[in-house]
Amino acid sequence: MENILEKAINLAKEIHYGELDRDGDPIIEHLLRVMAEGRSLEEKVVGVLHHSFETTEVNALDLLREGYPTTITDALQTLRRRENEVYGDYLDRIKSNRLSARVKINDLSDKLNIRNLRYLSQNRYYELRFFLAAYRSLLGLPIGTADCDRLYGKE
């Protein structure tokens, strides 16, 4: 199963070739940082592939055919937000899969890392506040009422 990580990295690089994040940096850099935060091989694989599952047509069947175990495909499916799903409900669903929750925490932690930011506009400030509320929610920590309302689409 060790070469599965190399296979996942290569797949992510292929899928996201030339794709940039909102700051103009290659999205693969974020994926590799999320992967690096993983504590287990499965967490690393899901970390490097999480964006592929969130934003492309890659699906569980494709990965199962390539030999990925169901623990990985289940976690990736859990991380794919459903159409019209309220973000707070999405987070609640993620909490039901430990592997997904750990990867989402790593994902949000990377997005909240000040070293990865080029600028801090008012919009980015609100986005960071939203990410922080989501991060705290996944960790089971209290969040403010206004942030809770944002997560559950009540504002």
Domain that includes residue 26, residue range: 3-151
pLDDT digit of tens for each residue in the chain (155 aa)? Answer: 459 999 999 999 999 999 998 888 999 999 999 999 999 999 999 999 999 877 778 888 888 998 999 999 999 999 999 999 999 999 999 999 999 999 999 999 999 998 888 878 888 888 899 999 999 999 998 888 877 788 887 76
Q: Where are the alpha helices (DSSP H) in the chain?
A: 3-15, 27-37, 41-55, 60-65, 70-79, 87-94, 98-112, 122-139, 145-151
Instruction: Look at residue 2 in the predicted model and tell me its pLDDT.
Output: 52
pTM beyond 0.85: the answer is yes
SS3 (DSSP) at 26: strand
Whole-number Å distance between alpha carbons of 100 and 78: 7
Q: What is the CATH number of the domain that holds 77?
A: 1.10.3210.10
Structural domains in the chain (count): 1
